[in-house]
């Protein structure tokens, strides 16, 4: 049997992973009511340029996003994103448009239906977030953000990418 010692560093990582997994599962409960997955919802939020998404801190987007950029933002494969995008297109939530400077590139845009869906889910997200975070001081929430920001910066520095 391996001798693994309990350490605070490893414990922090597993706490963050568990928090993330639980948050995603709870998010699935919300998005399932609207017939989409949390990954599809995240794509819609990226296309809506949700200012809470860290990706936009590092990458500026003047033009609508492309599939490659969404894959990068979500840290998933392009094939995975393509499948998700096809579903969102079939549901009428997003549309593709040729890039003005290169017709081979396809830019992704929210449709009115997609924007309406985001607004509906946003009401539930806001309510859920308030319920979960209501017992915490602003200072505590800022400390969590700062801690994770510092960890991400160190990870990015080690990997040499964002």
Looking at residue 139, its pLDDT comes to 97
Instruction: Quote the number of domains for the chain.
Output: 1
The reply to whether 24 falls in a domain is no
Mean pLDDT of 58-66: 89
Q: Which two tokens stand for residue 155?
A: 């990870």
Looking at residue 161, its pLDDT comes to 61
The reply to whether 16 falls in a domain is no
Predicted TM-score (pTM) of this structure = 0.89
The reply to whether 77 falls in a domain is yes
In a 3-state reduction of DSSP, which class is residue 106?
A: strand
The reply to whether 22 falls in a domain is no
Using left for φ > 0, alpha for ψ between -120 and 50, and beta otherwise, residue 124 falls in alpha
Mean pLDDT of the residues in the chain: 93
The reply to whether 126 falls in a domain is yes
The reply to whether 108 falls in a domain is yes
Q: Domain containing 118 — which CATH number?
A: 1.10.10.10
**Length reported for the chain:** 162
Q: For residue range 86-117, list pLDDT tens digits in order.
A: 999 999 999 999 988 888 899 999 999 999 99
């Amino acid at each position: 049997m391996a001798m693994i010692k309990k350490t605070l560093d490893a414990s922090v990582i597993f706490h963050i992973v568990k928090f993330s997994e639980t948050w995603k599962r709870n998010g699935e409960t919300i998005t399932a009511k609207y017939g989409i997955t949390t990954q599809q919802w995240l794509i819609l939020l990226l296309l809506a340029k949700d200012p809470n998404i860290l990706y936009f801190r590092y990458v500026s987007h003047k033009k609508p996003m492309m599939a490659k950029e969404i894959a990068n933002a979500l840290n998933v494969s392009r094939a995975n994103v393509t499948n998700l995008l096809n579903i969102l297109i079939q549901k009428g939530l997003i549309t593709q448009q040729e890039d003005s400077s290169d017709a081979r590139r396809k830019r992704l845009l929210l449709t009115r239906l997609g924007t309406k869906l985001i607004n509906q889910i946003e009401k539930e997200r806001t309510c859920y977030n308030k319920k979960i975070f209501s017992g915490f001081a602003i200072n505590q929430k800022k400390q969590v953000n700062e801690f994770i920001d510092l960890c991400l910066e160190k990870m990015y520095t080690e990997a040499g990418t964002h």
